[in-house]
Amino acid sequence: MKSNLAVLSSDNKTIQFIKNNNLEDLCNLYANSSRNTDDAKLFSENHGFEKYYGSYEDLIEDSNIEYIINFLPTGIKFEYTYLTLKKNKKIITNYPIISNQNELTSYQELNDLGLMPNLFLVDNQNFKKFYNDSKNKNFISTLIQNVACIYTLISKKINNSVILNYDSNLNDLGYWYQQLVAESLGKKGKGINPILSFGPKDHHSLLQLYLDGPKDKFFTFFNLSQKEDKIKVSQDIIPNNMRFLKNKNLRFIINAQCNAVKNIFKLKKIPFRQITFNKKNEDELGEIFTFFVLETILLSRLMNINPFDQPAVEQVKIETKRFLR
């Protein structure tokens, strides 16, 4: 059965968004609203909605609605986003949603209540990209294979997930992954321990442990595809026994070290996967964000835990407030 979709703003922009992203295939066009009842009725008749409302509040109160699209003007957008989330409905809206300090405070309240997973911030192009990814057979097949492999590993007590990153510009992605996995899956005595490691720097500290230490880890390599790098090794600074580095660019040298580690991992049967970035643009990063989020959600289902709350962290917040008072 399709979920019921409603829209707060009865305008062509909203309809175009629905059509561009094929939402009519995923959801039932259930209701629309406007501050003018006649406008809402006409919009409903023209675009095939089952119901219409002459106020945004009345639409939000409808218990049959599961998803609401809110493309209202910025000045009033957050007010109705807030009301929708408080009713525990899912809402799709666009940037920006916060326009003043009071709204920022209310945003924090929603976060503290654990309602933010119901908020989907999108723009038209990127939402369509996500929709296309979700229907891409290769994307879904790769996702399922990774989830199955990781779940098999953690069932064997191999539950340390090491991000071995060979591009410093991707460090923040690693920190984001760490927060996502630790906070989403670390519950009920279960979880995956996400560890950040940086190559080739950690070759001189942690790599010995990774290769010959406890076999309780699986690895994800972050690296860039081979490209020309302006930074090259000068002949003047290398000794005679390292002439093979002459005119090699820095990316080539880093990739060589990364590839060497992967070859030894294969020899030692250490589980790993490789994520290679070509452009590091919005499309590429958005796809990997989508992949990791879906991977985490699917793993949470297999582990029988709720990925959307942080009960232990909330305990710390309460205790901190007790000390501050």
Beta bridge partners of 91: 68, 119
What distance in Å separates the CA atoms of residue 71 and residue 173, rounded to the nearest whole number? 29
Both tokens of residue 242? 């390292």
Spot the catalytic one: 50, 266, 317, 319: 317
Spot the catalytic one: 204, 230, 269, 321: 204
What distance in Å separates the CA atoms of residue 28 and residue 6, rounded to the nearest whole number? 9
Spot the catalytic one: 41, 77, 129, 183: 183
* Residues whose CB is less than 8 angstroms from the CB of residue 123 and which lie 6 or more positions away in sequence, other chains included: 94, 95
* Residue 232 appears among annotated catalytic residues: no
* Residue 228 appears among annotated catalytic residues: no
* Residue 266 appears among annotated catalytic residues: no
How crowded is residue 183: how many other Cβ atoms within 10 Å of its Cβ?
Answer: 18
Q: Which residues are catalytic?
A: 183, 204, 317
